[in-house]
């Protein structure tokens, strides 16, 4: 049986465009199961029906969930936010590659993309042009926080404020790599 109080909180996350990931970081920066994910997973049929009744489709991937409008074609997932998220992830991936970092810097709780990494990435001449054309602010830290962290694509480590990708972010990044590499 689903919990109505938790359901209301989950709805607020979904309706604000946030992914709910299977794992999250605890206060010691270790991956732990996300209670919100487990709630929806355990009561998926009820949640699916609830969102269908208000015009949304509840997407349940192996390690993350989100809602989308049912009226949109499945392929039409390209909006301003997803394009900016893709661009930021591509820029981060290029930075990792150019500096001979392993992908785990962006995906593992023992790694992390630091404020210094973001500042250096922002200085790349190619990135300056991309930032301007994509109408991103010149403060990439703020953009990463707004577009990636607040939407559940990335998360901040408690101890260092470094950024790592969530389960949804890892899948998003893999799709980008498949599409562009």
pLDDT of residue 148: 97
Q: What is the DSSP string of 100-126?
A: T--THHHHSTT--B-HHHHHHHHT-HH
pLDDT of residue 143: 93
The answer, as to whether pTM is greater than 0.85, is yes
pLDDT of residue 153: 97
Q: What mean pLDDT, rounded, does the chain reach?
A: 91
Query: Is the distance from CB of 142 to CB of 122 less than 8 angstroms?
Result: no
pLDDT of residue 177: 86
Query: Is the distance from CB of 82 to CB of 63 less than 8 angstroms?
Result: no
153's enclosing H/E stretch is none
Query: Is the distance from CB of 64 to CB of 89 less than 8 angstroms?
Result: no
127-150 pLDDT, tens digit each:
888 888 888 888 899 999 999 999
Interval 79-100 mean pLDDT: 91
pLDDT band at 105 (very low <50, low <70, confident <90, very high): very high
DSSP reduced 3-state for 3: coil
DSSP reduced 3-state for 163: strand
pLDDT above 90 as % of the chain: 75
Structure tokens of 136? 């991103």
- How is residue 22 annotated by DSSP? S
Query: Is the distance from CB of 87 to CB of 137 less than 8 angstroms?
Result: no
């Amino acid at each position: 049986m689903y919990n109505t109080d938790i359901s209301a909180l989950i709805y607020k996350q979904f309706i604000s465009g946030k992914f709910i990931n299977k794992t999250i970081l605890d206060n010691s920066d270790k991956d732990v199961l996300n209670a919100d994910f487990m709630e929806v997973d355990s009561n998926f049929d009820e949640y699916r029906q609830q969102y269908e009744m208000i015009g949304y489709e509840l997407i349940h991937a192996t390690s993350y969930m989100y809602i989308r409008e049912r009226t949109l074609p499945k392929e039409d997932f390209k909006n301003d936010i997803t394009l900016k998220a893709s661009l930021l992830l591509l820029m981060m991936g290029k930075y990792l590659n150019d500096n001979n970092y392993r992908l785990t810097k962006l995906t593992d709780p023992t790694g992390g993309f630091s404020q210094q990494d973001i500042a250096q990435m922002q200085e790349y001449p190619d990135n300056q042009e991309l930032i301007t054309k994509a109408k991103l602010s010149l403060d990439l830290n703020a953009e990463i926080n707004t577009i990636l962290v607040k939407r559940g694509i990335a998360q901040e480590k408690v101890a260092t404020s470094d950024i790592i990708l969530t389960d949804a972010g890892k899948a998003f990044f893999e799709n980008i790599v498949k599409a562009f590499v």
